[in-house]
Structure 1
Amino acid sequence: MSPDGTTRLRSVIDDLGLGGVFGNRTDTASSCGCTVTFDDETLVLDATDCDGDLENATACRRTAIEALAERAATRIIVRSNGLERRYADRGVDLLESAGRFISLLGERDERLAAAAARDPIAVASEVRTRAGPIADIGVESGLIAAATGLESDETVLPATVGLTIGQYFVDRTIDDGAHLRDLQSLRTGSEARIYGRPGDVPRYALNAVDTALSDTDRRRLLEGYEAIAEGVVEGDRAPSRAIEYASDGAADPLLTAILTKHTSGYGILEDLFADPRVTDVYVTSPAAANPIRVVVDGESMPTNVQLTPNGARALASRVRRTSGRAFSRASPTVDATASLGDGTGIRVAGVTDPVADGIAFAFREQPADEFTLPALVANGTVPAAVAAFLSVAVERNAATLIAGTRGSGKTTLLGTLLYELAPKTRTVLIEDTPELPVDALQSVGRDVQALRTGTGDGPEISAADALRTALRLGDGALVVGEIRGEEAQVLYEAMRVGANANAVLGTIHGDGADDVYERVVSDLGVEPSSFGATDIVVTVQAYRAPGGRDRRLAKVEEVVGTGDDVRFEPLYELEGDRAVATGRIDRGESRIVNRLAGPTEDYAAVRRAISSRTELLSTLVNDGRTSPQAVATAYTGRGDERGDFSRSDETAHTDRTDEPPAPNQGGEPPATDWGGG
C-alpha cells in the first residue's frame, strides 16, 4: 500500500477510534478519552470526557473491545459525569469476541477490522457466509457464536444505570410479553411501575429520579457530595448548603433531597419506601448478584434495582450509624430500628459473613406512632365492640397475649392497647428492638419506662434479666414486646405466684390460642398450669383485600380450665371478614368477664362497662378524635370513679373450674355468684 493510502486509512481508523489495532493507544485515548482499568473481573472505563454509552459511542466501544482483547471480564462499567452504566452477559461476550477477532485478524482485512468495532453482529453475519482463514478466525474468536441469535448491538448492549454516589444500578429493560399493570408517582420524584409477566411473578420497576437529571444538575450534585465528603460543608443543613455551594446560588429542592438520601439517608431505599404500598424491602446476598425485592400490598416481587458491593457495605454502615448496633464478622447479625430521611421508622434485620455469603437485609416499615385503638376502629382493623372489650379488659388488668404471624400487626395492636391502661398506671416495657410507641405515650403524660434487651453485645442485658429488673421497677403493667425465649418462664412464674397482679401484655408468634399454647408450653418450656395465668389470647392476621394487603383482628379467646386441663373458648371470631361476638359473654358464660368485675361490681356491671366503652370509641371515631393526644384527653380521669380493679394474689388467675357456671334466664348470672372480682 502506498504511503498516501496508509495515511488515508490511518485517518479513517483514527476517526473510528481504531488506532489501537495498530498499537497506537495514544491515538485511541485522544479519540475516545476513556481511562481503562480492571477491578477483578470488571472492566472499568472512566468516560469523563466522553458520552460513555457503548450502544452509541463507537470510539468508547472500540476502547472496550481493545481492552477485552487483552484481558477477559465478566462485566463492563462505564462512568461518565456522575452516571454509571453496567454491561454484562452476552453483551460483554460479544465485545470480548470482537476484540479477539480484531486481534487474530491482524492486517488481513482492515475494512473488516474497522467494521468489527462498529458493528460486531454485522461482521459476524458476513464472516459466517465466508470460507477460508477469515471464517476460521470468526469461529476461533467466538464472534460467530456470540452473535448467533442477535439482531443488533442495541439488543445486547442495554445498560443498567445508576448514580455514581448511589452505589446501585437500575435495569431499564422490559421483559418480552410484559404489560404495565400499575404506575405510581412517588414523593421523591421517582416513578414506580409494576409489570405483569406471563408465567412469572410481577416485576417492580423503579425509574429513579437520580438518573434523569441533566448533565448540569448531576455535576452540581457531585460537587455538593464532594463538598460534604471533604468537610467543606458541615452541619444539619449540609445537603442544602452543599448544593448552594455547587450552584453558586439558591439550592434546588430536588437536588437537595437526592443529596440528602445519599449522604445521611438510606439511598435508593428511600425511593422504594416512598411507595405507600411497599411494606418490606429485601436485600439478598450476594447483593451484587441479586435484585432487591419488595413486598407490595402483600405480594412479593423482584425490582429492577441491584446494589453494588460497595452499596451493600454502605448500607451496613448506615445501619450501624443510625441504630447504634454492632454489625460485623464479630457480630454477624443485627436486629434494630432506624429512621428514613422523611422520619419513617423501619425495622432492620441483617446478616453478614460468616453466617451468610455477604451482606443481606430485611427492612420493614414500622407502624406509625399515631395509631390508637380508636384509629384501628376507624380504619376497619378492629370492630368497635371488640375494641371496647379489649379496652375494658386491659384497663382492668387482664393478662393478654396478642398472637399472629409475621407482619400481621401484632405490635401495632399492642401499642394501641397501652393507651387503654388506666392513665395513672405505671408501665414497664421490655423490648429487644424498639418498636412500641414509647415517645408518643410519654408525650401524652403516660408513665412508661422502657428497658432495652439484647443478646450479650455490649452493656445490654438478657430478656430474662430485664424481666426480673422490671418487677422491681414499680408496681404496674408489664409489657413484653415479643415473648420468644427464656423470659417466657420468668414471666409466667411471676404471673402464677401473683408477683404482678396488674396487667401483663405481650406479643407472640402463633395463629390462634392452640398454636400459642403449643409454642409456650412445648417450645418455650412453660408448665401448662403456669400458662393458665393467661386470661385472653387475641389473634390478628394479614389478608389479601380488594385494595391490596390488609390486617384485621380475627379472634379473641379466653383461657378456661385449671392445672394441666387448659382449654380455650372464643368470645369473638370471624364471620365473613369481621370478628363478631360468639354470644358467650351475653349468655353469662365468660370467666374473664366475671374476673374483670371490681370489688363492688357484678358480671352485669362489666357488660355495661363494655357497652359504654363501645359508645365512647364510636363517638371518638365519628368525631375524628383518634390521635394519641385526643384519645388521652378523652380518657382523662377514666377509672377514678370505679375503684381498684387490681386482683389480689388469691383471686388473680386462680378461680378457673372445669365446668362453666350456669347462666340465669336473663342471660346474666346473679350478683351473689359473680361479685367480688
Structure 2
Amino acid sequence: MTQDGTPSGLRSVFERTGVGGLLASSIDRFGRKDESSGACSCHVSFDEETLVLDASDCDGQLATSTACRRTVVDALADRDASRIVVRNTGLEQQYRGSGVELLGSAGRFVERLGDRNDRLATAALGDPLGVADEVDTRVGPVADIGIDAGLTRVARTIDSYEDAFSPTVGLTIGHYRLEPSIDDGARLRDVRSLETGSDARIYTRHGGVPRYMLDVIDLSLTSAERTHLVDGYEAIAEGTVEGDRVASRALEQVTDEPADPLLTDVLSKHTAGYGILEDLFADPRLTDVYVTSPVARNPVRVVVDGESMATNVFLTQDGAQALASRVRRTSGRAFSRANPTVDATAVLENGVGIRVAGVTDPVADGVAFAFRERADDRFTLPGLVANGTMPADVAAFLSVAVERNAAALIAGTRGSGKTTLLGTLLYELTPDTRTVLIEDTPELPVEALQSVGRDVQALRTGSGEGPEITPNEALKTALRLGDGALVVGEIRGEEAQVLYEAMRVGANANAVLGTIHGDGADEVYERVVSDLGVDPSSFGTTDLVVTVQAHRTANGRSRRLARIEEVITDGDGIWFESLYELKGTRAVSTGRIDRGESRVVNQLAGPTETYADVRRAIGERTAQIETLADDGRTSPREVATAGVECRLEDG
C-alpha cells in the first residue's frame, strides 16, 4: 500500500501505463469525492480467506464503484479469497459467490498477464466483465491466460455487476447480516410492523419453505447516526461508561447532545440485549429461532404460527460468540469446549422470556442455538377460557381437581403448551398449600405465584456435575422440604421411578403435577412404564392425563386442550376413560361425570362430601370462571382475589 492509499500493485500498473492522471478524484455536485472515477481510498487486509475492505472514506460499493473494484482486484492478484467484507461507517457488507470469483479471476489474469498488454491489465482492474468479453473473442497467449485464470469462464455466468454484487448487510456492532434479495416468483403473503421499529415480511416460495424477511430499523439510520452508534458501542466496551442508562449516557458522551431515543434503543439492543433476536421475538407470532452452525453459511430459521421458515438473517462468527458469552453471563452456566452444551433461560429487553439450548465444539461445527419463547406466566384458567384454549366447564374441572390434590400429568408434543398449562394450574392450589417445584431450566412462574401469596419453593437441577444436583436427588430433597404439592417441570428420566414410588407408598398425599412428552394417555403410559421403567401398579396412582395440542387456524397457530382421561385400575390392569375429548375444535364432556361414573370425581369428595357435592362444586366453579373470562378479569392477581372471595363466601 502506498502512502496515498493506492495498493502498490495497482500503482505499478498506473505508472507503466501513464494513466495515473486520469484516475485523479473528481468532485460530484454535492462536493463529495466520486469514487467511481477517482482513486480508491479503501484499505485492504486479509483475515484468513476473507478480504476485508475498510471503506470508511470511500464508496465501497463493488457493483458501482470502479475504483473500489480496482483495489480488490489488485489485492487478489497475489492471494485468493472466498469472501469479501466491506466496512463503511458502521455497516458491514459481505460478498460471496460469483462476484468474488470474478474479481479473484481478474486478479489472477492481471498477475499472469504481466507486461504483455498494459491496456488490458489496466482495464481488467476496474472492468473485468468488459475485458472478459474482449478476451473471449481472441486467440493466442492473452486468450489462454484468460482461460487459465478462469476469467472468461466466470464472466459467462454473470450478466452485470449488479447481479454479481448483491451483498448481505448489517451493522458492524450487531454481528449479523441481512440478505436483501428475494427469490424470483416469491409471493408476498404478509407484512407486519414490529415494536422495535423493524418490519417483517413473509413470502411464499414455490417448492420451498416460506421466507421470513426482516427489515431492521438499524439499516435505516444515516451515516452520521451509525457513526454515533459505533462510538457509543466502543465507549461501553472500553468501560468509560457504566451503570444505569448506559446506552443513552454513552451516546450523550460521544455526541455532546441529548441521546436520540431511536439510537438509544438500537444501541441498548446490541449491548445489553440479545441483538437481532430482540427484533425477531418482537413478532408475537414467532415462537422459535434456530441458529445452525456453521452460522456464516446457514440462515437463521424461525417458527411462525407453527410454520417453519427460513429468514434473510445470518449471524457472523463474532455474533455467535457474542451470543454464547451473553448466555454464559446471564445464566451462570458454563459453555465451552469442556462443557459443549448449555440449557438456560434469558429475558429479552422487551421482557419476553426465552429458553436457550446451545451446542458448540466439539459437539457441533461451531456455536449453534435453539431459542424458544418461554411459557407466559400471565396465563390463568379464565385467561385460557377467554382465548379459546378450553371451555369454562373443562377449566372448572381442572381447577377443582388440582385444588383437591389430584395427581395429574400434562401431556403433549413439543410446543403444544404443556408448561403453560402446568404453570396455569399452579394458581389453583390454595394459598396454604406448600409447593415444591423441580426444574432443570426455570420456566414455571415461580415469582408470579409468590407475588399472589402462594408458598412455592423452587429447586434447580442439573447434570450432577459440579455444585448442581441430579433430578433424582432433587426429588428426594423435595419430599423432605415440607408436606404439600409436588411439581416436576418435566418427567423424562430416573426421577420418574422415585416420583411414582413416593406416590405409591403415600409419601406425598397432596397434589402431584408434571409434564411429559406424549399424545394421550396410552402414549404416556408406554413412555412411563416401558421407557422410564416405572412399575404399572405405581403408574396407577396417576389420577388424570391431560393432553394439549398445537394446531393451525385461519388466524395462525393456536393451542387447545384436546382431552382429559382418568386412569382406572382394578388390581389386574390399567385402562383409561375420557372425561372430556375433542368434538370439532373444542373439548367437551363425554357425560361420564354426569352419569356418576368417574372414579376421580368420587375420590375428590371430602370425608363429609358426596359425589354430587363435587359435581356441584365443578358447576359453581364453571360459573365463576365464565364470569371472570367475560369480564376480562384474567390476571393472576384478579383471579387469586376472586378465589379468596369465593372461599370466604363458601365458608
Paired AA for residue 216 in structure 1: A
Paired AA for residue 135 in structure 1: A
Q: Cα distance, 1:382 vs. partner?
A: 1.2
| TM-score normalized by the length of structure 2 | 0.94
Greater displacement, 626-635 / 362-371:
362-371
1:9 paired with 2:7, answer no
SS at match of 1:69: coil
SS at match of 1:194: strand
- Separation in 1, partners of 2:571, 2:361: 47
Alignment of 1:215-294 (within 5 A): 215-294=223-302
Q: Cα distance, 1:562 vs. partner?
A: 3.3
Give the count of matched residue pairs. Answer: 628
1:623 paired with 2:631, answer yes
Q: Cα distance, 1:286 vs. partner?
A: 1.2
Q: Cα distance, 1:223 vs. partner?
A: 1.0
SS at match of 1:200: coil
Alignment of 1:114-125 (within 5 A): 114-125=122-133
SS at match of 2:189: strand
1:348 paired with 2:356, answer yes
- Separation in 2, partners of 1:270, 1:431: 26
1:453 paired with 2:443, answer no
Greater displacement, 91-100 / 118-127:
118-127
Among 77, 89, 92, the alignment partner of 1:81 is: 89
Paired AA for residue 137 in structure 1: I
1:529 paired with 2:500, answer no
- Separation in 2, partners of 1:14, 1:641: 91
Greater displacement, 238-247 / 112-121:
112-121
1:466 paired with 2:479, answer no
| TM-score normalized by the length of structure 1 | 0.90
Contact 1:422–1:639 at 8 Å: present in 2 too? no
SS at match of 1:287: coil
Among 39, 45, 54, the alignment partner of 2:62 is: 54
Paired AA for residue 202 in structure 1: P
SS at match of 1:516: helix
Alignment of 1:306-345 (within 5 A): 306-345=314-353
Paired AA for residue 21 in structure 2: S
Q: Cα distance, 1:10 vs. partner?
A: 3.2
Paired AA for residue 228 in structure 1: I
1:562 paired with 2:576, answer no
Identify if the C-alpha distance between structure 1 residues 106 and 568 changes in structure 2 by more than 3 Å, giving closer, same or farther: same
Q: Which residue is 2:615 aligned to?
A: 607
- Separation in 2, partners of 1:564, 1:640: 44
Among 421, 439, 445, the alignment partner of 1:437 is: 445
Among 570, 573, 588, the alignment partner of 2:581 is: 573
Q: Cα distance, 1:564 vs. partner?
A: 5.2
- Separation in 1, partners of 2:377, 2:60: 47
- Per-residue CA deviation, residues 298-356 of structure 1 (Å, 9 max, x unaligned), is 11111111111111111000111111111111111111111111111000111111111
Greater displacement, 42-51 / 397-406:
42-51
- Per-residue CA deviation, residues 634-666 of structure 1 (Å, 9 max, x unaligned), is 0116557879xxxxxxxxxxxxxxxxxxxxxxx
1:392 paired with 2:394, answer no
Q: Which residue is 1:499 aligned to?
A: 507
Greater displacement, 143-152 / 31-40:
31-40
Q: Which residue is 2:492 aligned to?
A: 484
Q: Cα distance, 1:7 vs. partner?
A: 7.7
Paired AA for residue 9 in structure 1: V
Contact 1:572–1:580 at 8 Å: present in 2 too? yes
- Separation in 2, partners of 1:60, 1:492: 71
Q: Which residue is 1:548 aligned to?
A: 556
Q: Cα distance, 1:577 vs. partner?
A: 0.6
- Separation in 1, partners of 2:407, 2:112: 81
Q: Which residue is 2:412 aligned to?
A: 404
- Separation in 2, partners of 1:239, 1:590: 60
- Separation in 1, partners of 2:101, 2:636: 61
SS at match of 1:101: helix
- Separation in 1, partners of 2:457, 2:85: 52
- Separation in 1, partners of 2:576, 2:15: 97
Runs of 4+ in 1 over 3 A off after TM superposition: 4-8, 13-16, 107-111, 637-643
Q: Which residue is 1:647 aligned to?
A: none
Structure 1, unpaired ranges of 5+: 17-27, 644-677
- Separation in 1, partners of 2:18, 2:579: 93
Contact 1:119–1:153 at 8 Å: present in 2 too? no
Greater displacement, 429-438 / 191-200:
191-200
Contact 1:528–1:563 at 8 Å: present in 2 too? no
- Separation in 2, partners of 1:307, 1:14: 38
- Separation in 2, partners of 1:236, 1:603: 59
SS at match of 1:246: helix
Paired AA for residue 150 in structure 2: G
Q: Cα distance, 1:179 vs. partner?
A: 1.9
Q: Cα distance, 1:240 vs. partner?
A: 0.8
- Separation in 2, partners of 1:125, 1:342: 55
Alignment of 1:130-145 (within 5 A): 130-145=138-153
Contact 2:17–2:118 at 8 Å: present in 1 too? no
Q: Cα distance, 1:425 vs. partner?
A: 1.0
Contact 1:598–1:642 at 8 Å: present in 2 too? no
Contact 1:228–1:238 at 8 Å: present in 2 too? yes
Identify if the C-alpha distance between structure 1 residues 564 and 168 changes in structure 2 by more than 3 Å, giving closer, same or farther: farther
- Separation in 1, partners of 2:339, 2:571: 42
Identify if the C-alpha distance between structure 1 residues 455 and 640 changes in structure 2 by more than 3 Å, giving closer, same or farther: farther
Paired AA for residue 147 in structure 1: A
Q: Cα distance, 1:105 vs. partner?
A: 2.5
Among 42, 49, 64, the alignment partner of 1:41 is: 49
Paired AA for residue 399 in structure 1: A
Q: Cα distance, 1:518 vs. partner?
A: 0.4
Paired AA for residue 549 in structure 2: Q
Contact 1:427–1:447 at 8 Å: present in 2 too? yes
Q: Cα distance, 1:601 vs. partner?
A: 0.9
Q: Which residue is 2:313 aligned to?
A: 305
Paired AA for residue 562 in structure 1: D
Identify if the C-alpha distance between structure 1 residues 6 and 99 changes in structure 2 by more than 3 Å, giving closer, same or farther: closer
Contact 1:428–1:473 at 8 Å: present in 2 too? yes
- Separation in 1, partners of 2:226, 2:302: 28
Paired AA for residue 41 in structure 2: G
Contact 1:484–1:524 at 8 Å: present in 2 too? yes
Contact 1:529–1:564 at 8 Å: present in 2 too? no
Q: Work out the percentage of aligned pairs sharing the same amino acid.
A: 70
Identify if the C-alpha distance between structure 1 residues 563 and 354 changes in structure 2 by more than 3 Å, giving closer, same or farther: farther
Alignment of 1:649-664 (within 5 A): none
- Separation in 2, partners of 1:641, 1:383: 25
Contact 1:332–1:353 at 8 Å: present in 2 too? yes
- Separation in 2, partners of 1:411, 1:57: 55
- Per-residue CA deviation, residues 373-421 of structure 1 (Å, 9 max, x unaligned), is 1100000001111001000101111001000011100000001101111
Contact 2:452–2:636 at 8 Å: present in 1 too? yes
- Separation in 2, partners of 1:101, 1:484: 62
Alignment of 1:167-178 (within 5 A): 167-178=175-186
Contact 2:23–2:39 at 8 Å: present in 1 too? no
Q: Cα distance, 1:8 vs. partner?
A: 5.0
Contact 2:78–2:111 at 8 Å: present in 1 too? no
RMSD over aligned Cα atoms: 1.8
